[in-house]
Amino acid sequence: MSPRRGDGRLVLGFLLLFALHFYVRPRVFDGRAAPDFLLCALMLIAVRSRPGWAAVAGFLVGIASDVLTPAAFGAGALAHTVVAYIAAWGRAVFFPDNLVVNAGLFAGGVWLRNAIVLLASGTPSSQLSSALLVWAPLQALTTALAGLILLLMFRDWFAIRIEA
């Protein structure tokens, strides 16, 4: 398999998202409603790959995020794996190059990931309702907005290339 034209820009775009998540996000955003650039990168990978490879990428991203939150180790890996698999499977239903679809993908992925992490980590029911009904939608909204801004700025980098 030969490298395709534009793959370097795509890798650079994903490295930019990782840098935004681990370097810029903790310094600029404060709180539980901060955008999740790592999940944006995972969603962009998932819609460009088959469900099996997307699940592997989700597992690796989940393990990387679990290392930073060892209290519920494994919950993030499970959540990211499920979300990436569903996103890759859903590309057959939705055309992922539409900005509105991408915003919905980012928002839905964040909310579903947060729900799975909260349920798998055994969050008490008193905290579960506020986390699922207040904080998860706020983070989903900020992530969708940040993802849309990045897609508009770097649209050529993240464009889906269909090859025969």
Q: Is the dihedral of CA 2, 41, 60, 120 positive or negative?
A: negative
Does the domain at residues 7-153 carry the CATH identifier 1.10.1760?
yes
Query: Cα–Cα distance between 5 and 50 in angstroms, integer?
Result: 20
101-148 pLDDT, tens digit each: 889 999 999 999 999 999 998 888 888 888 899 999 999 999 999 889
pLDDT at 62 over 70: yes
Q: Contact 51/89 with Cβ under 8 angstroms?
A: yes
Q: Which pLDDT belongs to residue 3? A: 44
Q: In the chain, pLDDT over 90 holds for what percent of residues?
A: 32
Q: Which pLDDT belongs to residue 2? A: 40
66-81 pLDDT, tens digit each: 887 777 788 999 999 9
pTM of the model: 0.83
Cα dihedral 102/108/111/116 (nearest 10): -120
The domain spans of the chain are: 7-153
Distance from chain centroid for Cα 46: 9
